[in-house]
Amino acid sequence: MSAGTRALVFTDLDGSLLDHHSYSVDAALPMLERLERAAIPVIAVSSKTRVEIECIRAAIGNRHPFVVENGAAIYIPRAYFASLPEGALERGEYWVLEFSPGRQRWLRMLQSLEPDFAGEFEYFQRAGVAGIAAMTGLSAAEAALANQREFSEPVSWLGSEERKAQFVAALQSRGAQPLQGGRFLTLAGDCDKGRALARLRAIYAGQSDHVAIHDIAIGDSNNDTAMLEAAETALVIRSPVHDYPPLQREGGVIYSDGCGPLGWAEGVGQWLAESAPGASWQ
């Protein structure tokens, strides 16, 4: 990247940086190390909880901000930027920007719908650790972390597609913004990954004398669409279980051939080559 510019990588985790089946990141590790050497932040933007993402960040040595629960909140390590971003709360080791009501609102909403949709859905809080592990393939310890939600609630739909449409309409009429991901329908407020990306991009630009930002968003499923549309470049990761999510944009899109972290490394390498051919850190 040229002087006066800043590169940012916004990435989904499950099915993108992490393998859909094994949750392994191994195939992307060399590229992650290359980005770190080049001082290009890799920012997780995930449906996962804060504690889940903290574990992944620790495992790969990531120290950058991250977005939890499909855009419901941004966590910025305290003092990462020179000043506290407008609207951020100081909470422990983080500065936090919140965009959704808390989990309890969605739990009460699901309980209110139980009489009309009995036996047609299950959700994390009710399923518990064992149920979450069965639905996701996570270990019991990992499932416990997935259940430590703050702003949203994942739902597994068990009924027909016709009934699902009625269920979604009922949720929307009560103020939820349900979002279909690779596995679950997630209930949260009026937020998404794209708006969280835009807010963080503006913070980076504003705290760096308004340098030009060149960013890439990486994802594989429908709950990534908002950020894939919002970024300068979109990298759409091939999935072993579903088609590429449809995008409205016409340009600036890379489609990976490989799945998961293999496709992630492939696509990021292409973006780097196209964005800064011949740069010393290539």
Picking from 188, 207, 231, the residue at the C-terminal end of a domain is: 188
Same domain, 184 and 213: no
Kindly report, residue by residue over 93-102, the tens digit of the pLDDT. 999 999 999 9
Same domain, 136 and 243: no
The confidence score (pLDDT) of residue 179 equals 86
- CATH number, domain of 170, equals 3.30.980.20
* DSSP 8-state assignment for residue 259: E
Whether 12 is in a domain gets the answer yes
Same domain, 50 and 181: no
14 SS3 class: strand
The confidence score (pLDDT) of residue 277 equals 43
Strands (E), the chain: 5-11, 42-45, 66-68, 73-77, 89-91, 94-98, 121-123, 153-157, 179-180, 185-187, 212-219, 233-238, 253-259
Same domain, 221 and 179: no
Same domain, 70 and 179: no
The confidence score (pLDDT) of residue 275 equals 81
Same domain, 115 and 70: no
Name the phi and psi angles at 143, rounded to 5: -65, -35
Same domain, 10 and 87: yes
Same domain, 12 and 95: yes
Q: Among candidates 21, 43, 23, which has minimal Cα distance to 32? A: 43
Picking from 159, 188, 217, the residue at the C-terminal end of a domain is: 188
Picking from 138, 161, 188, the residue at the C-terminal end of a domain is: 188
Q: Give the domain range for residue 54.
A: 5-99+192-275
| Residues of the chain where predicted confidence (pLDDT) is lower than 50 | 1, 277-282
The confidence score (pLDDT) of residue 270 equals 97
Same domain, 89 and 207: yes
Q: Is pTM beyond 0.85 here? A: yes
CB-CB contact of 16 with 241 (8 Å): no
For 249, the token pair is: 């944009």
- Site of tokens 């030009």: 212
The confidence score (pLDDT) of residue 210 equals 66
Domain count, the chain: 2
